[in-house]
Each structure stands twice: as C-alpha cells, then as structure tokens.
Chains A and B, each alone.
Chain A
C-alpha cells in the first residue's frame, strides 16, 4: 500500500475498500488470468496472482490471517505482501502494486 505518487504506472481503479470483506478477498478478472484482492484486519489491501505456487489453487478462496492467506487446496501459506510461500514451503506468486486514494483501490498491472 503506497501513497507515493508513481506517475509512470498505469493505475486502474477496481473498487472501494468496503467492497472487499475484512479478512477476505475478491477476484479481479483480467484477460490474463485472475488476480486476488485481499483485505487484512487493519484494512491493508494486497493483490496477488490468483494462483498458489504449489498447484495453482485459487488463493482468493483461502482464509486470510495476519498478512498471509492459506490456500484452500493444500493449506500452503502465502505472504500477501511478497507473494512468497511461508517456509518450509517454497515458491512465489506474482504480486501487484496497490494504491489507495480515499477509499478507492487502484491496481497497477
């Protein structure tokens, strides 16, 4: 979550913070696959490619806790900020920059 202006990025508006349930997620559909949009207990928003590095489970369907999400298929834990799997599991899924202005969420893809 960065309020710093990065003019070189194409920020795309995707919705309001309250459209995403606390400790929950929503899906952004794109022509290049789904992106999971996650909201933590203290209203931080993160975006990850909606594919677990393990067996491509849809992370957006997992349980969010702290800054992590547990994949619904085989319970891998993925860090929301980096997309890295929590050790001892190994793997990484792509993460996307997010910007919040007021209560509006923007993503750069």
Chain B
C-alpha cells in the first residue's frame, strides 16, 4: 500500500509540488488535498487581469476537478483544516473531515494584512487576495463610483488599475512618498506615477490612514492630517503575512513563517512546507518563482530522490499593468561601496539603472523598455564579471555585437503576426494563444507546445518576454541553476565535475553513479554526457556511439529527406587537381545533384545514400583526403586568405598558418562546432573576426581574436592579445580550445560561453598565466593523440558496418507473399 500524503492548501505551491511529485513517481503516495476555497486550483497571480476584465475566471483555472480525478487525488474543497494532530498523524477539517498522513505538506500561503484602524470591518472594505475579493470588487464597481486603494505597492497598483478599468474613480493612498519603494528607486517610481496619473489614477502620498468612516458600509476615509475622501470601496493592499496559525497551533517551530530546512522540512521531519507560508534561511517570499523552485526540491525529497537542495532564490518583479513595462531585481539601492550605472531618457519613457559592486551586478531597475531584464537578471545570478561590457551594458544585449533581432525588442508592442521563432515559423500570436489555451507557465512548456526557441535558441529572450507579458513577470525566470534535463537535478557543471572527480569513464557509469532518474537518459543528456566523458578521458573513456547524434555516429550530415552530405577536409581552404578530380569522380559516379562550395572553403556533395557512404569515403581516402567533420560538434574549418605569398597587402603567411592550425586541431570534439580563420592582413578577407578563434596577421606578428560567430546571432570576436610567432599562435589556440572544451556546457558556442564567464576570465587563464596556458595546450595535444584517426578511413575499412547496411531486405507488396 502506498504511503499517505496530505496537502493542506489547494493553491499554487501545494499543487505545483504535487505535480512535480507525480512527474517523478506517480505511485509513491495516496494524495489528499484540502483547500479552503470552493474551487480547483487557480493562478492567483492572474487575479489582476480578471479584475481588469482582460481574462475570465475560467481562463486562470490551472487544475480543474477532472485533473484531481485523473490523478487519483482526493480533493476536499471548501474545507479548512483546523487542527494537525501530529501524535496520531492526522488532520481535522472544520466540518469534522479527518485524514491520516504519513507525510504532511503545509502550503497555506499567506494572509493579507489588514491595518488596525477603526472601521476596517465595514462592508465595502476588502483585501486583494482571492477570487472572493475580486468578485466583491467587480460587484461594487457596477454600483458605486469611488474606490480607495490603501497601499502603493505591486498589489495595490494592480488593484487600482483594475478598478479604474471597471470605471471607478480610484485614489491610491500610500504611506511612503514613492510608489513601490521596495521594488523601485525614486526615478523609476516617479516615472511610474506620472504614467499612472496620465491614465487617470489619483495618488495621495505620505498619507496615513486614521479611520474608515461609515454606518453600515464604508463612506469615507480619514487621514492623520484630518483630510477626508469619499469611498464606496476600500481595498487594503498593504502587504501579506505568512499564514502560520495552523502550524503554530500544532507546535511546529515558526518565526515569521514556518521554518524549513533546505529540503523544505519543518522541525517535524514528516511535515513539509512550501510557498509563501515558509521561512527559509531567514527569508520569506511572496512571488511565484521561488515557490516553483521549492516545489521541485520538496517533490524530489518526498519521492526519496533527494539530492536536490533549495538554497534560496533571488527574485525579480514585474508589474502586471498592461502597457507599463517595469522590472526590478536584487539590491537596487546600493551603498557607498557600489556604483550606479544609469540610462535615462524621460521623453521616451525609458530608464535603466544597474547597481554594480566589484564589476558584478547587484541589482537592476528598469522602466519603459524591459526586454533586457532577463539578461541582467542572469548576469546577476551568475555573478558574471561585467568589466568587459561595462561601457555598453546599459544599451542592452543587442548592442554587444549581437545583431540578431535588432530593434524588435518591445514585445508588448509587437503585432500577433510578428515572427518570433524564425527556425520553426512561430508568430507572437501562436505563442500567446498556446500560453492562454494550454495554461503554460514556463519556458520549457512553451517550447514543448509551440516549438518556439527550441531550435537555435536565439529567440529565447523574446519568448521569455512574451511569457512574462502574457502570464505575469516572475514566471519567466528559469531556475537559477538549471538541471541538465529532466533526467537529473544536477547542472552541467556538477556533472562535469563528478565525471572528473569520481572517474566516471562511460555514459552508463555516469548515469548509474549520479543516480539518473531515467533508465537510459534522453537524447539531450546522453549526447552531453558522451562529450563530457570523451573530453575528460580522451584515452580511456568509452566513446558511446549510441549516445551520439546521428551525424556524429555515421560521420556525415543528415539532410531533411534522410539523405546525407559529404564534405571532405581541405586543409586551410587549399586543394589540388588530384583532390578536385576525386570529388568530381564521386559526384559523377553517385549522381550527386548538388555540388556546393561551403562558407568554410570546402566543397560539399549532397543527396548521398547512407549505404553508399563507406565506398565514397574509400575513394576519398585513396585520394589522400580525410573527413571534414562538417557534421560534428568539433573543429570544422580553418578559413584562410592567400596571405603574403600572393597578396600585395599580406603581412604574414596566413595560408601556412591556417594549415598548421588545422593539422593541430582537426578531429577534436568540442562542446559545439568550432571554426577558425587566419587573415593575412587587417583587411581580414578570411573574416577571422567572426570565428571562434581568429588570427589577423599584422606586420609585427599576429592578433588573436576569440568568441565570434556568424550565423543566427552575429557576434564579432573579442581581442585576446598579440603574439609574435606562429608557434605562439598554435599554443594559444590549443590552450583556448582546451579551456573551452573543459568548461563550456555541451551545445554552448564560444560566444555565449565567453559572455557567461567574461573575457577577463579567459585572459587571466590564457594570456596572463603562462604556466596554465602551457598546461592547457599540453592537455589539448595529449587529447589529440587519440582523436586524429580519420573516421572515414576506418569506416571505409569496415568499422560500424551495421550502421550503413540494412539488416534485411524483404518484399511484401500489398499482399505479403513472402514467408
């Protein structure tokens, strides 16, 4: 018989935890849920759009009653638990319903704070917390005119905006003299106030409520200074308090919230708590993102998978008032040890401030254009050193040499037909519809349902912004430490470290040793793991071909019709009549329809049949040609110009250098494709400044450039350093490649990796630390000893024959005659 799990609280935190638990182990528990409200689970964050009339209640229900039935969960709605009997391990509801538990999850959320003034119990005085409150507000707005919202924070402003949309005349009363002082600095706050005033809201700042006056229902509000204003409705939105009464009564240790450990357990280890009711490492949270992170860890622990720990959240805020873009995160006030970077254009309504300490972002406030909010937030959480981009950082990610989506960054203003994901042809409208219709909450879910941002990923920022705009801000933030995939809770970095430290030398060992949740992993993690194993253990690690993507398994590029392309290597872009003849012969003999010169100075043959590949490779092998690895996450090409040998401007022998670079690096596997180029002079005909590693020859030697790429998001390289000799170029190239190979995540190109770790970090390791550079270069050369066997020649000689031949050929016709 399964153990019994009882959940107190049918809100977002409790149900999210149950959902996570069902994903991991649907049979672990008999689950019973008690909820005080008479509904299934709905998205509380979306009460604001219900109040404005932008959404109906049905649209914000995330789990209807059928969901509980489908998942064999017993739901007691409208039943409030009044007692937890920890001795007999049962809970008792107000109507006498009882339920036994083996594990108990408290997710009672929080209560709105009602200020203790006379008249706060009059009819027409409400809080803004649940659907019941919203219904009262909507009803009142139909019959009355004057609304007063007490509280100029996030919730208060959303309530005020909603009531105004419903036709009421609204005054916001705030104790402080700036709005949202916990999320905004003075400048942004003033811009927000001006914009809201323009829309018709009235403000009474620095006003302390003294009495709410009325006979049966509210009539007026009086302040300390004696002024009075008319009010038919008073909304108290001054804050929330963790709802801990029940836990406290049961003797569970509480301070401001129910105190929990990193595994979300209270002082009674059978009792867990998640969401707004908890206090973790001294912090309480009133936003959704932390709650999701808690739910994941808690579910993991309940399912006894327990390697996850909740280590607290850094949160960001976004106001859900249509047309107002506002973002804040971290500590944006600063002190004497911090610097402020500020960009302000009042006329255009744009304001951005970053608080920076030791070149790391501590906090951010943005008003007007917030598309870069998620980017700043990532930099904040990753503690990225921003010294290299400090001069441009306020202009946003688009101005870091990335010409990807240009000006298209105000998603709210984009039309529904604007294409967001160019790879999969997904428009803004498709994404918004999917989010609304399928009630999607996370980037992963949007990817799964719409395919947007699931291919090249360049539109991820836009998709996150649309998600934030559609469902409310704090959903959009992916967890800080992202697990590799659904098969594990470990991050790429954790896994890489464990492969080295625990000496895991096969993909199977990694999955067993690190307690993978799935039997064989998935296409995402297996390919990553295989690369990490091969990179860490070039000699003795097992290269598992069944964990390689098809292109790397058969050493050719699969095309959309299932045929393959073949692109032989041409060292440094040079070729010869003999090689060209071999290519021409193959093209004719195998009826190649398309012969194409690639961007990397190679010749590609397209439309070849898989079973012909080994014999084609034999022909190339006989002509002295090897695999071009045009199919791999590997060294691709070294593009060159003809250099000083021919060109009247050439300063060095760039062609020779290119060949040497390619001879040294070919065959190496890298986290993502890796391209190089060597140009003979600063005219840079080989386009070295958009390569992963580029060399620009100058009269005095060689300029080295790193982290560039063309393609989806063009990024020009960063200048690494100057060197004097070819040997040095080779050493720096080997060291840079090895650092990238060892530290980047699988499928992360040098450009995003460099932006993540910072150019300074790379310089410290490659340029300033001679010893470490030499060590890295030596590691690279050692690894290459095992990587430079030509895979084409091996397969021409019979390796992996089964990959290329059918197991059987049978004739069935329509009437199955064979037996």
Contacts and interface: CB of A to CB of B under 8 A. Distances in A.
A10 interface: yes
A1 interface: no
Interface string B515-539: 0001111110011000000000000
Contacts of A70: 522-523
B523 A19 contact: no
Interface in A10-24: 10-15, 19-24
Nearest to A89: B448
B810 A15 contact: no
Contact of A19 (B807, B813, B818): B807
Nearest to B807: A26
Nearest to B523: A70
B454 to A, nearest CB: 8
A73 B558 contact: yes
B558 A72 contact: yes
Given A31-B813, A66-B518, A73 B807 contact: no
Contacts of A89: 448
Contacts of B802: 19, 21, 26
A62 B524 CA distance: 12
A66 B526 CA distance: 12
Given A65-B522, A75-B523, A88-B448, A28 B807 contact: yes
A12 B819 contact: yes
Give the interface SS of chain B, mostly helix, strand, loop or mixed: loop
A82 to B, nearest CB: 18
A20 B807 contact: yes
A48 B816 CA distance: 17
Interface in A28-65: 28-32, 34, 37, 40-41, 55-58, 61-65
B562 A14 contact: no
B550 A29 contact: no
B672 to A, nearest CB: 16
Given A32-B813, A73-B558, A63 B807 contact: no
A66 B810 contact: no
Nearest to B520: A65
A70 B520 CA distance: 12
A21 B809 contact: no
Given A19-B802, A28-B806, A10 B521 contact: no
B558 A61 contact: yes
Interface residues of B, number: 36
Contacts of A62: 523, 550
Contacts of B807: 14-15, 19-20, 26-28, 37
B501 interface: no
Contact of A73 (B554, B560, B812): B560
A17 to B, nearest CB: 11
Given A26-B807, A30-B811, A66 B519 contact: yes
Contact of B810 (A12, A55, A57): A12
A94 interface: no
A64 B520 contact: yes
Given A22-B546, A63-B547, A73-B558, A28 B810 contact: yes
A64 B546 CA distance: 8
Contacts of A65: 518-523, 526
A64 B545 CA distance: 11
Contacts of B546: 21-24, 63-64
B146 to A, nearest CB: 47
A12 B520 contact: no
B703 to A, nearest CB: 40
A41 B520 contact: yes
A46 to B, nearest CB: 14
B808 interface: yes
Contact of B527 (A14, A20, A28, A63): A63
Contacts of B809: 28-30
Q: Which of A31, A34, A65, A88 has the most CB of B within 10 A?
A: A65
A10 B554 CA distance: 33
B562 A57 contact: yes
A89 B367 CA distance: 38
A40 to B, nearest CB: 8
B449 interface: yes
Contacts of B806: 26-29, 34
Interface in B761-819: 802, 806-814, 816, 818-819
A79 B448 CA distance: 17
A32 B550 CA distance: 24
A88 B449 contact: yes
A10 B520 CA distance: 33
A109 B816 contact: yes
A4 to B, nearest CB: 19
Given A73-B558, A88-B449, A31 B812 contact: yes
A11 B526 CA distance: 35
Q: Which of B521, B545, B808, B811 has the most CB of A within 10 A?
A: B808
A56 B448 CA distance: 19
B310 interface: no
A31 B562 contact: no
A37 B808 CA distance: 10
A63 B523 contact: yes
A96 B767 CA distance: 60
Contacts of B812: 30-32, 109
A96 to B, nearest CB: 10
Contacts of B753: none
Contacts of A40: 520
A74 B438 CA distance: 22
B526 to A, nearest CB: 6
A26 B455 CA distance: 27
Contacts of A14: 807-808, 810
A64 B812 CA distance: 27
B719 interface: no
A97 B300 CA distance: 38
Nearest to B819: A10
A32 B526 CA distance: 33
A19 B451 CA distance: 36
A13 B546 CA distance: 25
Q: Which of B438, B547, B807 has the most CB of A within 10 A?
A: B807
A23 B674 CA distance: 29
A14 B810 CA distance: 8
A54 to B, nearest CB: 10
Interface in B3-23: none
Contacts of A24: 546
B549 interface: yes
Contacts of B554: 61
A66 B516 CA distance: 12
Contacts of A58: 558, 562
Contacts of B455: 74
Contacts of B813: 31-32
Contacts of A37: 807
A109 B449 CA distance: 34
A10 B818 contact: yes
A56 B61 CA distance: 37
26 contacts: A10-B816, A10-B818, A10-B819, A14-B808, A14-B810, A19-B807, A21-B546, A23-B546, A23-B547, A24-B546, A26-B806, A26-B807, A28-B809, A29-B808, A31-B813, A41-B520, A55-B560, A57-B562, A61-B550, A62-B550, A64-B520, A65-B522, A70-B522, A72-B558, A77-B522, A89-B448
10 interchain residue pairs of minimum CB distance: A70-B523, A26-B807, A14-B808, A65-B520, A63-B523, A61-B550, A23-B546, A29-B809, A58-B562, A72-B550
Given A65-B520, A109-B816, 5 more contacts: A21-B545, A28-B808, A62-B550, A63-B523, A65-B519
Interface of B: 438, 448-449, 451, 454-455, 518-523, 526-527, 545-547, 549-550, 554, 558, 560, 562, 802, 806-814, 816, 818-819
